[in-house]
Structure formats: C-alpha cells, structure tokens
Amino acid sequence: MDIKNVGIVGAGQMGNGIAHVFALAGYDVTINDISQDALDRGLKTIRKNMERQVSREKISAADRDAALARISTTLSLEELGSSDLIVESASERETIKSAIFEDLQPHLKAETILTSNTSSISITRLASRTDRPERFMGLHFMNPAPVMPLVELIRGIATDDATYQTMLKVVENLGKTAASAEDFPAFIVNRILLPMINEAVYTLYEGVGNVRSIDTAMKLGAGHPMGPLELADFIGLDTCLAIMNVLHDGLADTKYRPCPLLTKYVEAGWLGRKAGRGFYDYR
Ligand code: CAA
C-alpha cells in the first residue's frame, strides 16, 4: 500500500518528534491532540528542533519550510479520516490507547494501517480490540525521534505480511533503520535498557553512588551518551515506572521489581525533565 497521509495522535514529546520525521521525509502529516495548547506546544517544539537542524546544516531552510507546510493540526479525530497510516503516540496507558483506536475506527478507510508507538504494551492485545488486527503493528521510535536512527517494528500475532512489508518500507523512507521484535513485554530496547536504568536507581537507593557519580561512571566507564539517571529524567520517570511494571507483571520475575525510590519520585510528581525535577533539578 502507498502511504501518503499520516495521522499522528498525540503532540507530546514523542508525537511531535514523529511528526517532524514524517514531514521531513515528504509525508503529509496531521497531528491530533485533545487541547489546542498541546497542539501549539507540539508545533513550537517541531519548529525549534527543525531550526536547530538548519543551524547545524543538517537540513536546508527550504527543507524546513516545505516540511512545516506539510503539517496540519486538529482537535478532531474525524479529521484523521483520510489517513493511510495512523501513528498513535498518546500517553503510555492501555485504556487511553484502546479508546483512541475505538473512536478513530468509524472514520477510517478499510485499508488504513494502525500503529502504536507504545514502548511496552502488548501489540497483540491492543490490536485485538480493533476492527483490523491484521493491519496493526508496533512502530516504536526512540527519543529524540529526529535524532535516533532506530525504529522498532513489532508484529502482533495477527499482523499480516503485507502490513509488515509496508511498514518496513516506510521506516526506510524515513531514513531510519528498523529492528524487528516479537511481541513480548517491552520488546527489545526497553527490555534491556529499562532494567539497566532501574538498577541505576537501586544503586542510588542503596547508597553505592550518588546521582553524579553513577551517571559519570556509566558515561565515561561504559561509553553511554547520557548517564542512566539523566536518561531516566529524559524519558520521564512515570514512563520508566510504567515500563518496569509491564516487565514485572508480564514476565512475572522479581528481577524486574521497580526500585521503591523510582516509585517514590513518581508519587512525588518528580517525573524528570518535563516536570522540572527528577534525579536532577531543571528549575
Ligand atoms: N531534534 C532535532 N535534533 C536534535 C534534537 C531534537 N529533539 N536533540 C538533539 N538534536 C541534535 C543536535 O542538534 C545535535 O546535532 P549535530 O550532531 O548535528 O550537532 C545532535 O542531536 C546532538 O545534540 P546535542 O549536541 O545538543 O547534545 P548531545 O550531543 O548531548 O546529544 C542526544 C543529545 C542525541 C539526546 C544524546 O545525548 C543521546 O543520544 N542520548 C541518549 C538518548 C537515548 O538513549 N534515547 C533512547 C531513549 S529510550 C527510548 O526512547 C525508548 C523508550 O520507549 C523509552
């Protein structure tokens, strides 16, 4: 299937980055969110990030203008009706994601492919609640989407081969590299990355190191671009906790037990960069 129009649900951290990537690759993009404020903030971030790419000579000013002209926004899911592809990028809560697909379905063409940018929720289960489980996939971008070259492609148990092949081609057109994962809790990247971050929080909790020494150790000692606690703040501590809970519940193994300190920070509303406070203070 030829994909031209892409509907993106959610203008947040991931949604606006994904819209940025699709628009630069020449796709017509419509972003939906539940408030005008969220849409305005998403567009502002896209402009700022494209500006950064222009100033670093990654793209030209003409590329930026053409990409921005391909992006429109809407508060109504109905206006995503002409999309060939939907990328759901709402909050990492299963009930919210399922409700979005349910509300979207009556407006969509029969052939429209549905994807979710979920970082950990079962694709098979999300797909089973839609009218087209064979045309449903996980399309998992990494943060920041305009920079990170990987997209995980996750097939649900019912995903057909035509859908998978179409999405492989889309990822290639975006200039990204696909890694295919089977549908098990947290797929590949987060199955490996989040236990490492959780272990870093335990390392802090048990007093083995402080925030700076833990991050410095992993940056300079293991060559990571960001330390694990800085990365946790960047991802969002609520998202980190949600993924650990998916691993813990889905694999029923105590080795995935979320660190109590991570839970406490989330309960305090110290969710990382987006909240102004996490393991670091951004205020
Ligand atoms: N949009 C566009 N460009 C951006 C950007 C954005 N949001 N953020 C950074 N950049 C660009 C910069 O312009 C810069 O470009 P040049 O190389 O052309 O100069 C480049 O990215 C590097 O940025 P900076 O120089 O500002 O800063 P940096 O060198 O510290 O890199 C980083 C920033 C790319 C985020 C780097 O720190 C990094 O790779 N961190 C690790 C990120 C990571 O692990 N992401 C995965 C998280 S896990 C995930 O996403 C899965 C999940 O489901 C939770």
CATH number at residue 167: 3.40.50.720
Shared-domain flag, residues 173 and 45: yes
Q: Does residue 118's CB lie within 6 angstroms of at least one atom of ligand 1?
A: no
Q: Whose CA is nearest to atom 27 of ligand 1?
A: 225
Give bridge partners of residue 281 from the DSSP assignment.
277
Residue nearest to atom 38 of ligand 1 (CA): 225
- Please give the residue range of the domain that contains residue 84: 5-182
Same domain, 109 and 173: yes
DSSP 210-276: -HHHHHHHHHHHH--SS-HHHHHHHH-HHHHHHHHHHHHHHH--GGGPPPHHHHHHHHTT--BGGGT
Number of domains comprising the chain: 2
Give which of 181, 184, 186 is closest to 243, Cα–Cα: 186
Query: For the segment 51-88, what is each residue's pLDDT rounded down to a tens digit?
Result: 999 999 999 999 999 999 999 999 999 999 999 999 99
Q: How many CB atoms lie within 10 A of CB 57?
A: 7
Instruction: Look up the CATH number of the domain holding residue 208.
Output: 1.10.1040.10
- Asked whether residue 282 is domain-assigned, the answer is no
Say how many CA atoms lie within 13 Å of 232 toward its Cβ: 35
Same domain, 73 and 157: yes
Is 78 noted as a catalytic residue in this protein? no
> Ligand 1 within 6 A of 116 CB?
no
E strand or H helix at 127: helix 123-128
What pLDDT was estimated at residue 92? Answer: 86
Q: What percent of the chain has pLDDT over 70?
A: 100
State which of 54, 119, 147 you would mutate to test the pocket of ligand 1, scoring each by most atoms of that ligand within 8 A of its C-beta.
Answer: 147
Whether 49 is in the pocket of ligand 1, judged by its Cβ within 6 Å, is: yes
Catalytic residue at 82?
Answer: no
Concerning whether 224 is annotated as a catalytic residue, the answer is no
Q: How far is CA 3 from CA 63, 167, 201, 281, in A?
A: 20, 9, 42, 42
Is 230 inside any structural domain?
A: yes
Residue 144 CB less than 6 A away from ligand 1: yes
Query: Residue 1 has what pLDDT?
Result: 77
Shared domain for 196 and 271, answered yes or no, is yes
Tens digits of residue pLDDT in 13-36 = 999 999 999 999 999 999 999 999
Pocket flag, ligand 1, residue 255 (CB < 6 Å): no
78-83, long-range: CB < 8 A, 24+ apart: 78/107, 79/30, 79/32, 80/7, 80/9, 80/30, 80/32, 80/104, 80/107, 80/108, 81/107, 81/108, 81/109, 82/5, 82/109, 83/5, 83/6, 83/7, 83/30, 83/108, 83/112
Q: Which of 116, 190, 198, 230 is catalytic?
A: 190
Query: Do residues 132 and 108 make contact, with C-beta atoms less than 8 angstroms apart?
Result: no
Is residue 205 domain-shared with residue 168, that is, in the same domain?
no
Instruction: Verify that 177 and 251 share a domain, yes or no.
Output: no
Quick check: is 199 in a domain?
A: yes
Query: Within this chain, do residues 31 and 127 fall inside the same structural domain, yes or no?
Result: yes
| Active-site residue, 152 included | yes
Q: Are residues 24 and 42 in the same domain?
A: yes
Q: Nearest Cα to 71, choosing from 29, 32, 37, 12?
A: 29
Mean pLDDT by 10 residues, the chain (283 residues): 95 96 98 98 98 97 98 97 97 93 96 96 96 98 97 98 98 98 96 98 98 98 98 96 95 97 98 97 97
143 in any annotated domain: yes
1 CA distance to ligand 1 middle (Å): 32
